[in-house]
Amino acid sequence: MEHFTIATVAEKSPDFRRVLWTGEHTQLVIMTIPADGEIGEEVHEDIDQILTFVSGVGEARVAGAKRKVVAGDLVVVPAGTKHNFVNTGPNPLVLYTVYGPPEHADKAVHKTKEEADAAEAAGEDEPPTE
C-alpha cells in the first residue's frame, strides 16, 4: 500500500517537480512553483491532469480562461487542452497533480523548471512504457 499525507509531503518538497508514484494508468506528482514562476504553457495530447493546490496563490490558465487558485482548489485539465499555472504571490505555489496516463519518468526529481525543461528536451523524462 502506498500512503501519503499529501499536503505535508508537498509542502516539504522544495523541488519544482517530484514524481511520488507511478502506476500503469496514473501518476502522482508534487510541484513547487517559486514566486514569479510558472509551469509553462503546454498541452498533453493524450493525458488528463488533475491539480490540487496546497498553498500559495496563483493563476490557472486553461483553454484561454483565467482563474485565481488558492489552497484547497482543484483544477481539471482534459487531454489536448492548452494550460499553464502561474505563481502570482510572494510565496511558493505548492500543488500535487495526478496524470492519467503517466507523463513523467518514474521517480523523476527536477529541482528547477530549467532542469525539468532540459530533461524533457533531452528525452530523459519519458514515462514508463510497460
Phi-psi domain of 63 (left: phi exceeds 0; alpha: psi -120 through 50; beta: other): left
Would you say residue 125 lies in a domain? no
Would you say residue 3 lies in a domain? no
Of 105, 77, 92, the residue nearest 18 (C-alpha): 105
Q: In tens digits, what is the pLDDT along the chain, a chain of 130 residues?
A: 999 999 999 999 999 999 999 999 999 999 999 999 999 999 999 999 999 999 999 999 999 999 999 999 999 999 999 999 999 999 999 999 999 999 999 999 999 999 999 999 999 999 998 6
pTM of the model: 0.95
| CATH number where 91 lies | 2.60.120.10
DSSP class per residue in 36-61: T-B---B--TT-EEEEEEEESEEEEE
State which residues form the domain around 63: 14-120
Of 42, 31, 46, the residue nearest 100 (C-alpha): 46
Q: Grid cell 490558465 — which residue?
A: 61
Would you say residue 5 lies in a domain? no
Would you say residue 2 lies in a domain? no
Grid coordinates in use for 46? 493524450
User: How many folded domains does the chain comprise?
Assistant: 1
Q: Kindly tell me the burial class for residue 56, based on how many C-beta atoms sit within 10 Å of its own C-beta (0-12, 13-18, 19 or more).
A: buried
What is the number of other CB atoms lying within 10 angstroms of the CB of residue 73?
Answer: 15
